[in-house]
């Protein structure tokens, strides 16, 4: 009897423990896993021959900075290689002479305003006298002319004050955008003039490559033509880009200057470095399309030859997109004629684990 009571009590306590645990345990929030994908940037056409040219890396945005006024450098707050942000003060010149000019201009404004007020009072007084016929019209006109001249002097004084204040503000040289100091050509206590370039600032991260193309093949490229880039001093550079500028005049060597923007700059790639630029010259007789890795192609169905998963940077998702192919294979790549275009980012691996609209991120982000 006692044993049965003990057993029943144990069962009741177990049930109470389970119920209590169920009431106090908070539900586990289901967090969507954001899968990282290996990106492939669609740039290489499926047909055409490759030409290689020597180029030089440069910043996409670069600016030579100098003062618009002359003066003595007071402080230099940066050195070559420093990273700066937009609006940051870089160099200052002695503001005292400019402050004195501002004070003098302010005094001129005060004097001119007082003179204007006096001339206005005189004009008003003469107007009353004219109404009563106590003065001639010619006399009143002289007071009106004097008043208008005083207004002009006040306007001139205000303009001089504005110029003095502008010059005062220009004693501080600030960064026009985020970037890196590429050159520093000034030291404290030196005299500078508006023609003196004191600093050069390059935009950080956004790089391009400058090179020249023989005029004999210039007709086979256009704005948007894809390029690949190799820099010997940067291991595994393998950069890709697209031509953004083509010159209109050939040089003495019958070469036309061109510039290509680099899509993603690797660590260590810096302005001034030498690089080899590979340009794919489109052959109009060949099939149109772009090369895509075979591993980026998802199995086909009756509606398409296959599918790729395009990455949407704005939404951070992938979109399952049907593609068509000529079937031509080059190494580990296949020619895609419909469904992709230059600049698209597609998942380069693991496509069997992806679904349409899935949230993802690029490897390295």
Domain definitions of the chain by residue range: 35-45+288-362, 49-60+206-281, 63-89+176-202, 96-169
CATH of 35-45+288-362, one of 2.40.420.20, 3.40.50.300, 3.10.28.10, 2.30.30.230: 2.40.420.20
Please name the residue that has the structure tokens 């630029």. Answer: 277
* Opening angle at CA 257, ends 205 and 290, nearest 5: 70
Q: For every one of its 365 residues, what pLDDT tens digit does the chain have, with 9 covering 90 and above?
A: 444 444 445 444 454 444 455 555 555 555 567 888 888 877 666 655 678 899 998 888 889 999 999 999 999 999 998 999 999 999 999 999 999 999 999 999 999 999 999 999 999 999 999 999 999 999 999 999 999 999 999 999 999 999 999 999 999 999 999 989 989 999 999 999 998 999 999 887 788 999 999 888 888 888 888 888 888 777 656 678 888 899 888 877 789 999 998 887 777 788 888 888 888 776 655 556 778 888 888 887 766 678 999 998 888 899 999 988 877 776 678 888 888 887 788 898 888 888 899 999 887 55
- CA distances 353 to 275, 306, 318, 356, 362, Å, are 38, 15, 12, 10, 15
The three-state secondary structure class of 99 is helix
Cα separation of 311 and 313, whole Å? 6
Q: pTM score > 0.85 for this model?
A: no
Q: Determine the topology of domain 63-89+176-202 in CATH.
A: OB fold (Dihydrolipoamide Acetyltransferase, E2P) (2.40.50)
Angle at the Cα of 267 from the Cα atoms of 197 and 312, rounded to 5 degrees: 105
What is 49-60+206-281's CATH topology?
Answer: Elongation Factor Tu (Ef-tu); domain 3 (2.40.30)
Top-tier CATH class for 96-169: mainly alpha
Take residue 176 and report the two structure tokens written for it.
């026009």
Residue with tokens 């002319």, as numbered in its chain: 145
């Amino acid at each position: 009897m006692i044993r049965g009571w003990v057993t029943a009590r144990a069962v009741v306590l177990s049930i109470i423990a389970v119920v209590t645990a169920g009431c106090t345990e908070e539900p586990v929030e289901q967090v969507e896993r954001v899968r990282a994908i290996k990106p492939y940037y669609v740039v290489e056409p499926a047909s055409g021959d490759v030409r290689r040219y020597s180029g030089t890396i440069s910043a996409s945005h670069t600016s030579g900075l100098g003062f618009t006024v002359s003066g003595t450098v007071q402080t230099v707050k940066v050195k070559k290689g420093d990273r700066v942000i937009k609006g940051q003060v870089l160099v200052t010149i002695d503001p005292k002479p400019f402050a004195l000019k501002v004070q003098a201009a302010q005094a001129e404004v005060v004097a001119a305003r007082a003179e204007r007020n006096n001339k206005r009072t005189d004009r008003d007084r003469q107007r009353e006298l004219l109404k009563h016929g106590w003065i001639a019209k010619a006399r009143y006109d002289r007071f009106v002319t004097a008043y208008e001249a005083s207004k002009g002097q006040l306007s001139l004084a205000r303009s001089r004050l504005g110029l003095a204040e502008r010059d005062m503000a220009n004693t501080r040289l600030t960064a026009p955008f985020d970037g890196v100091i590429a050159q520093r050509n000034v030291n404290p206590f030196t005299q500078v003039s508006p023609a003196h370039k004191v600093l050069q600032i390059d935009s950080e991260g956004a790089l391009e490559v400058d090179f020249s193309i023989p005029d004999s093949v210039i007709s086979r490229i256009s704005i948007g033509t894809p390029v690949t880039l190799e820099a010997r001093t940067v291991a595994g550079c393998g950069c890709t880009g697209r031509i953004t500028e083509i010159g209109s005049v050939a040089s003495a060597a019958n070469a036309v200057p061109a510039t290509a923007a680099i899509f993603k700059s690797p660590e260590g790639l810096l302005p001034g470095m030498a690089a080899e630029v590979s340009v794919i010259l489109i052959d109009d007789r060949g099939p149109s399309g772009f090369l895509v890795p075979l591993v980026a192609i998802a199995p086909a169905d009756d509606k398409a030859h296959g599918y790729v998963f395009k990455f949407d940077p704005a939404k951070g998702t992938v979109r399952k997109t049907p593609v068509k192919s000529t079937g031509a294979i080059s190494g580990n790549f296949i020619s895609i004629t419909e469904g992709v275009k230059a600049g698209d980012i597609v998942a380069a691996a693991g496509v069997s684990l992806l679904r349409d609209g899935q949230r993802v991120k690029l490897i390295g982000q």
